[in-house]
A and B are shown apart, each in its own frame.
Chain A
Amino acid sequence: MPHEADPAEAIEQLYAQGVTDGLPVVPPTRERVRVFVEASGRPADELIARLPPNFGRATIEKIAINAVLAGCRPEYMPVVIAGVEAICEEAFDLHGVAATTHFASPLAIINGPIRKELEINSGANVFGQGWRANATIGRALRLIMVNLGGARPGVISMSTLGHPGRYTYCIGENEEESPWEPLHVERGFAPGESTIAVFAGEAPHGVYDHRSRGAPQILASIAASLAVISNYRSTGWGDTLIVLSPEHARTIAGDGWDKPRIRQWLWERLQKPVRELVPDAECGEGLPEKVLARYADPAREETLIPKFRAPENLIVVVAGGTAGRFSAVIPGWTFPGGSQLVIRKIQR
């Protein structure tokens, strides 16, 4: 692939080839890629995965080329490699996530000591700009989906609206400010291990609550936002992320609540009777015909239908700055058989 040496011209050429996300990229010279492969400590031709839906081969070298394009530093390679392994696990359902008309894009959640080593932001402006690791690790995963998985927007990736996280979507969990076990420890990893979790998420939806001073009060605010995700009448939803700010987390934990109790409380609260879930003139969404067929008179039926399949689908992490009583909910891509959060150890 010969190119002009002038960096500005190289950026134009790479954009014209369709291998970027629209923003300028770092030209992947042989020498830059060599440094990235070396930093991975693995052979260039080692195959990590074949990326759906086109099943392009993600070798260490191909991952390195895309990490260079994204603007990563060489030491981010183990995180990007583990991220590729994670999105390619069957439970993540990359085929669907890459091609869907829905909004979803992989959100990478980093846990463990690597956050400090690579300066991955888990504090103020955690979903925002300003940290190279967050900006480029998420971007590398997206470029890999496009260049190796074939998820070109409007061609294979048919998302109607997309969302800004399709440029990059990567956060650290603020373990230091969390009153509870972090995500990776909940999922069986040691606190000293580093992990990357991937979650097919919409954009974060903010929950503002500055005046509540008790766990049930704050959780009632969060539940009200969770109640309307996807559609206010959708039910049977799967993995959904709740990002608690440190201030909210501290108040909730101060009342003696742990994560299982939060999940259970939210899950129980987020149920509606069948009669409120019948498609009608107000809204055509609601329970599918086969479910409605179980009831003699759905319009009067009081049986409760949960918004979420199980309490465990409500995944709680703590992130963000220490000032501000804002949290966020992030809907997933969780149709029956759809994407689940997948977590992988970062091998170093």
Chain B
Amino acid sequence: MVVEYLDPTDAVIVTRTMAVRPASLEGKVVALLDISKPQGNHFLDRVEELLRERARPKAILRRTKPTFAKPAPEDLRAELLAEADLVIEALAD
């Protein structure tokens, strides 16, 4: 005998897809997002150095989340979407 059980999950939730990855960073605007964990700035300083040395981006933007404990505020996300071609987010600690 088969009985029906109800689904405890929200099955119709929309699955998110990954953004398309660019083949090259050349000529792109790259945002480096510091999530405000200790030492994240040092890590991103080095990433910026390496990008300038090797990837020839059009520009590198540096942005910081107010706290790592919460998602980035809506206005920061809108700004990144409008101004950057891609975002590199750093954790550190």
CB of A5 within 8 A of CB of B1, answer: yes
Stretch at the interface among B43-51, B52-60, B62-70, B80-88: B62-70
Q: Contacts A54-B13, A55-B13 known; A335 to B2 CB distance under 8 Å? A: no
Cβ-based interface call for A282 (8 A): no
Cβ-based interface call for A235 (8 A): no
CB of A27 within 8 A of CB of B8, answer: no
Within 8 A of B (CB), among A54-99: 54-57, 61-62, 65-66, 69, 93, 95-96
Cβ-based interface call for B7 (8 A): yes
**In whole angstroms, how far apart are the Cα atoms of A96 and B2 in the complex?**
40
CB of B69 within 8 A of CB of A336, answer: yes
Q: Contacts A336-B69, A337-B70, A338-B69 known; A2 to B3 CB distance under 8 Å? A: yes
Minimal beta-carbon separation of A216 from chain B (angstroms): 34
CB of B68 within 8 A of CB of A65, answer: no
**In whole angstroms, how far apart are the Cα atoms of A1 and B71 in the complex?**
34
Report which of B4, B10, B13, B67 forms a contact with A3, defined as CB distance below 8 A. B4
Report which of B4, B9, B13 forms a contact with A19, defined as CB distance below 8 A. B9
CB of A29 within 8 A of CB of B5, answer: yes
CB of A61 within 8 A of CB of B67, answer: no
User: B68 to chain A: which residues have CB within 8 Å?
Assistant: 335
CB of A56 within 8 A of CB of B13, answer: yes
CB of B38 within 8 A of CB of A288, answer: yes
Cβ-based interface call for B19 (8 A): no
Cβ-based interface call for B6 (8 A): yes
CB of A62 within 8 A of CB of B10, answer: yes
CB of B10 within 8 A of CB of A30, answer: no
CB of B67 within 8 A of CB of A65, answer: no
Cβ-based interface call for A148 (8 A): yes
Minimal beta-carbon separation of A145 from chain B (angstroms): 12
Cβ-based interface call for A280 (8 A): no
Interface centre among B4, B5, B69 (most CB of A within 10 A): B5
CB of B2 within 8 A of CB of A337, answer: no
Residue of B nearest to A339 (CB): B69
Within 8 A of B (CB), among A89-112: 93, 95-96
**In whole angstroms, how far apart are the Cα atoms of A338 and B37 in the complex?**
13
CB of A28 within 8 A of CB of B67, answer: no
CB of B4 within 8 A of CB of A1, answer: yes
Minimal beta-carbon separation of A313 from chain B (angstroms): 15
Residue of A nearest to B71 (CB): A95
Cβ-based interface call for A318 (8 A): no
Minimal beta-carbon separation of A331 from chain B (angstroms): 15
**In whole angstroms, how far apart are the Cα atoms of A242 and B31 in the complex?**
43
Minimal beta-carbon separation of B79 from chain A (angstroms): 19
Cβ-based interface call for A143 (8 A): yes
CB of A337 within 8 A of CB of B7, answer: no
Cβ-based interface call for A215 (8 A): no
User: A66 to chain B: which residues have CB within 8 Å?
Assistant: 8
Q: Contacts A54-B13, A56-B9, A148-B9 known; A30 to B4 CB distance under 8 Å? A: yes
Q: Contacts A56-B13, A288-B38 known; A28 to B6 CB distance under 8 Å? A: yes
User: B71 to chain A: which residues have CB within 8 Å?
Assistant: 95
Cβ-based interface call for A33 (8 A): yes
Measured CB to CB, the residues of A under 8 A from B are: 1-5, 10, 14, 19, 27-30, 33, 54-57, 61-62, 65-66, 69, 93, 95-96, 143, 147-148, 288, 333, 335-339
Q: What are some 22 contacts across the A-B interface (CB < 8 A)?
A: A3-B3, A4-B3, A14-B5, A19-B9, A28-B5, A28-B6, A29-B5, A30-B5, A30-B6, A54-B13, A56-B9, A56-B10, A57-B13, A66-B8, A69-B8, A93-B69, A95-B70, A96-B69, A96-B70, A143-B8, A148-B8, A148-B9
| Nearest 8 A/B pairs, CB to CB | A56-B10, A337-B67, A338-B69, A147-B8, A5-B1, A65-B8, A335-B69, A96-B69
If A2-B4, A56-B10, A93-B70 are given as contacts, then 9 extra A-B residue pairs at C-beta distance below 8 Å, sorted by A number, are: A1-B5, A1-B7, A2-B3, A5-B1, A5-B3, A95-B70, A147-B8, A288-B38, A335-B67
